[in-house]
Structure 1
Amino acid sequence: MLFLLWLLNAIALLIVAWVLPGIVVSSFGSALIAALVLGLLNAVVKPLLVLLTLPLTVVTLGLFLLVINALVFWFAGSILRGFQVDGFWWALLGAAIYSLVSTALANLLIMS
């Protein structure tokens, strides 16, 4: 199941790169690595960022979580060779679309 979710996240990342011109994924292998790195960053770094920025998140009624998602997405694009994000706004839009597409694909997997 975990392997299938990883594949679906890589496919979601390819869909995001296909839809948005500011995000580039060079190959399916790069998408697999990027999906793995995004998963690790979301599991390790993101909770720390959420905890450190909790007052700002409360003041903005949770909207700052979108900024944290974008920063994690952008950071993954900056450390990986086959995955490129051209700027913060592309990262914000890409993270939102990636989240929607990967959730939709995961729900299709669960329903079948």
Structure 2
Amino acid sequence: MSKLLFKYLSIILTIYLLSTIIDGIYIGDISSLLAMGLVLLVINLIIKPILLLITLPFSILTLGLFTFIVNAWTIMIADHFISDVNMNGFLNSLLAAFIITILYHLFRDMNKA
């Protein structure tokens, strides 16, 4: 399976799981969840590299940990475009970014085995 499909699956799975665990994260229906995953995937392909380049000095100072902040920003941007999904703030977006990264690497490692 392709890298983009793993990323898409990790995005929608994470947002769905977080919406069942955290009361502040709201998903209207399954089509909104799928649209959120697609919009976030496109934002990660287009806007995220630009944000990473702009914030490169902060990433160097924090030894790469600032990329989680950039990931949270991209989730908040995608949340702005999808009306039926509400991440309810920066901390939920940061948690989602962290778990998306973990799930993506787990999916990727399972594919290699």
The TM-score bracket by the shorter chain reads: 0.7 to 0.9
Distance in 2, Cα, partners of 1:4 & 1:91? 21
Name the residue aligned to 2:62: 60
Q: Is the 8 A contact 2:11 2:37 kept in 1?
A: yes
Q: How many residues align?
A: 111
Q: Name which of structure 1's ranges 19-28 and 49-58 shifts more when overlaid on structure 2.
A: 19-28
Distance in 2, Cα, partners of 1:107 & 1:19? 25
Name the residue aligned to 1:82: 84
Q: Is the 8 A contact 2:73 2:93 kept in 1?
A: yes
Q: Is the 8 A contact 2:72 2:94 kept in 1?
A: yes
Q: Name which of structure 1's ranges 10-19 and 62-71 shifts more when overlaid on structure 2.
A: 10-19
Cα deviation, residue 11, structure 1: 3.2
Q: CA RMSD in A?
A: 2.3
Runs of 4+ in structure 1 displaced over 3 angstroms? 1-9, 101-108
2:26 aligns to what SS in structure 1? strand
Gaps of 5+ in 1: none
Counterpart of 1:35 (choices 22, 34, 37) is: 37
Counterpart of 1:23 (choices 16, 22, 25) is: 25
Give, as a single letter, the amino acid of the residue that structure 1 aligns with 2:59. T
Gaps of 5+ in 2: none
Larger RCO, structure (CA 8 Å, separation 6 or more): 2
What percentage of aligned pairs have identical amino acids? 29
Distance in 2, Cα, partners of 1:20 & 1:106? 26
Q: Is the 8 A contact 1:22 1:86 kept in 2?
A: yes
Name the residue aligned to 2:94: 92
Name the residue aligned to 2:50: 48
Q: Which TM-score applies when normalising by structure 2?
A: 0.80
Q: Deviations over 1:39-73 (max 9, x none)?
A: 00111110100011111111121111111011111
